[in-house]
Structure 1
Amino acid sequence: MRGKRLFIATFLVPPLLLYGVFVVSPYAQAFQISATDWGGLSPEYEFIGLDNFRRLFGDGTFWNALRHNALLLALLPVATILLGLFLASMISVGGRRDRAGVQGVRGAAVYRVVYFFPQVLSVAIVGVLWKEMYAPNSGLINGALRAVGLDALARPWLGDPRFAFWCLALVLLWSNVGFYVVLFSAAMQSIPRDIYEAALLDGATRATTLFRVTVPLLWDTIQVAWVYLAILAIDGFAVAQIVTDGGPGYSSDVVGLRLYKTAFTDSQFGYASAIGVALFFLTLSVAAMFLRVTRRDRVEM
């Protein structure tokens, strides 16, 4: 028994130490720094208690960024999951009649590769790609509009405060939906064929089968996807920093980007750490809320 415990400890202690040093320790330091006025470079700083958090509650730029994250939280998971389910249901089977008795799309494997392609690109490439597409003069979007005679619809998309945030949301949707198409498609393959045959005999249409049969059977997968997309919506830093940099005039700012600029542009690491602590508790609260909803759903079923 003692040898078994020693064997387990030998394998567990090193990774736990690494996790503590490189993951837990930075979190703990962020809480400590959030109570100081540290500028990031000087070894001198003063403890100021909760002053950074009091400042946070009165910071209009922070609340503006948080409002944008709230919009992403309300829209991105819903749009991504609905679009992912729709596309997955269209390509779940190719080249033969699908499980609902409807002819599937030929070349479904090719479609899966196309939809999943954004996942193999780095965030930097995705950001630069879409930034070029949104370019007012040489961009693909305005070029396509002018090519079909819709010059009046051409806009400086990233330079107009009315459209910058929605352009950013579209990039986040495009860059993530492919993963969930493949995820939902794989989950659909595990549903017994007999269930679809029974729905077909009852006269169910493809849409009815999707919402009355497929979605309930995939609910656990959908809930996991919802949590991950909610966390992504609360962050959104990398794409926002590359595509719009929060502009113009804070119109596409997000909390993660506000934290970055406060620390590395304004050299206010203490205040930036306070933003990070607030973001940590916000993410934790959202994840806990979704897990709570998941537990209730399972109890009711």
Structure 2
Amino acid sequence: MRHGKYPFVIGFLLAPVTLYVVFVIAPYAQAFYMAATNWRGLSPGQFVGFENFERLFQDDVFWKALQHHGVLLLALPLLTIAIALFLAFMLNVGGGAKQGVMVGVRGSKFYRVVFFLPQVLAVAILGVLFQAVYRADESGLINGLLGSLGVEPLGFLINPNIALWSIIGVLVWQAVGFYVVLFSAGMASIPKDIYEAAMLDGASRVGLFFRVTIPLLWDTLQVAWVYLGIMAFDAFAIVWTLSVDQGGPDGSTTVLGAEIYRNAFVFSKYGYASAMGVALFFLTLTFAALSLRVSRRESVEM
């Protein structure tokens, strides 16, 4: 049995490893090569070395998109995690102790379903839905409500000062439901005895949240932060479907994904678009590694 272990393992892994190399590693390698050429999609491109990357660092649009990713990296994880943590806490232990058992608020099972619903909507549907919600006249849902209060309509998607924040609002609205479920699963694994002991010691709900829930949920929070950071780098779909002129107005909502698409399929600059893709790859990888490193801490024993 021992001598036949390695051939069995190799045979078992051969097919999935081959598929991974063909469909994941090979496209990455091809993208890295294309980033060093001036290929325009038709004739074979010439090898230009780091010329595309030198041009990239002198491109104002690239830096503007990078700045927008910086805003997304701060706002999206912070807002989503804060809202989802609060809702998950209320759904699991917010109702206090009843007959010696910690319970959530009344109707918590129904609220879980309601909060998760936005997660099942496709991005294209979200784009169409929030175009109606954000419409700049009183026919829009929000501006209709503001108009009934005597407030002038706001140009959520046409005002460069608030367009990106309007898109961030949509991303948060969509993501919160998933992280409510994720944090609820994490809280369900925390022994109820810990909450009950803390309440017997006089801890308030705020104390339970900050002194019990967050320390015991730290590993889940770490994973959520990394996932949301990657989501911030992958905001192409919602920007392309919801924003004015796919990244406007005046580039105020553009992201790297949108510029990659524009350079590749509008301007046929596949080599330059690949250089942007390589930059995005390393930015995402660096963010994930730094986040895991900075947020690492000793696990709390339960």
* Structure 2 counterpart SS, 1:131: helix
Alignment partner, residue 142 of structure 2:
141
* Alpha carbons of structure 1 residues 135 and 211: separation in structure 2 relative to 1, 3 Å: same
What's the CA shift for 1:151? Answer: 3.2
Letter in 1 for 2:66: L
CA distance in 2, matches of 1:100, 1:273: 60
Any conservation in 2 of the 1:94–1:107 contact (CA below 8 Å)?
no
What's the CA shift for 1:182? Answer: 0.9
CA distance in 1, matches of 2:101, 2:265: 57
CA distance in 2, matches of 1:264, 1:256: 12
* Alpha carbons of structure 1 residues 52 and 120: separation in structure 2 relative to 1, 3 Å: same
CA distance in 2, matches of 1:112, 1:100: 23
Alignment partner, residue 232 of structure 1:
231
CA distance in 2, matches of 1:93, 1:103: 5
Any conservation in 1 of the 2:94–2:205 contact (CA below 8 Å)?
no
Alignment partner, residue 260 of structure 1:
261
What do the CA deviations read for 1:263-297 (whole angstroms, capped 9, x no partner)? 111110100000011111111111110121244x2
What's the CA shift for 1:43? Answer: 2.6
Alignment partner, residue 289 of structure 1:
290
**Corresponding pairs, count:** 297
Letter in 2 for 1:268: K
CA distance in 2, matches of 1:98, 1:186: 21
Alignment of 1:104-115 (within 5 A): 104-115=104-115
* Alpha carbons of structure 1 residues 100 and 294: separation in structure 2 relative to 1, 3 Å: farther
CA distance in 1, matches of 2:102, 2:12: 52
Alignment partner, residue 211 of structure 2:
212
Q: Which runs of 5+ in 1 are unaligned?
A: none
What's the CA shift for 1:8? Answer: 2.0
Letter in 2 for 1:105: V
TM-score by length of structure 1 reads 0.93
CA distance in 2, matches of 1:85, 1:151: 33
Any conservation in 1 of the 2:215–2:300 contact (CA below 8 Å)?
no
CA distance in 1, matches of 2:84, 2:163: 24
* Structure 1 counterpart SS, 2:97: coil
> Greater CA deviation, 195-204 or 64-73?
195-204
Letter in 2 for 1:39: R
Any conservation in 2 of the 1:100–1:206 contact (CA below 8 Å)?
no
* Structure 1 counterpart SS, 2:61: helix
Alignment of 1:128-207 (within 5 A): 128-137=128-137, 138-147=139-148, 149-152=149-152, 154-207=153-206
TM-score by length of structure 2 reads 0.93
Any conservation in 2 of the 1:84–1:178 contact (CA below 8 Å)?
yes
Any conservation in 2 of the 1:99–1:196 contact (CA below 8 Å)?
no
What's the CA shift for 1:300? Answer: 11
Letter in 1 for 2:251: Y
Write out the 4+ residue segments of structure 1 that deviate beyond 6 Å after TM superposition: 98-103
CA distance in 2, matches of 1:274, 1:98: 59
CA distance in 2, matches of 1:221, 1:98: 27
* Alpha carbons of structure 1 residues 126 and 86: separation in structure 2 relative to 1, 3 Å: same
What's the CA shift for 1:99? Answer: 10
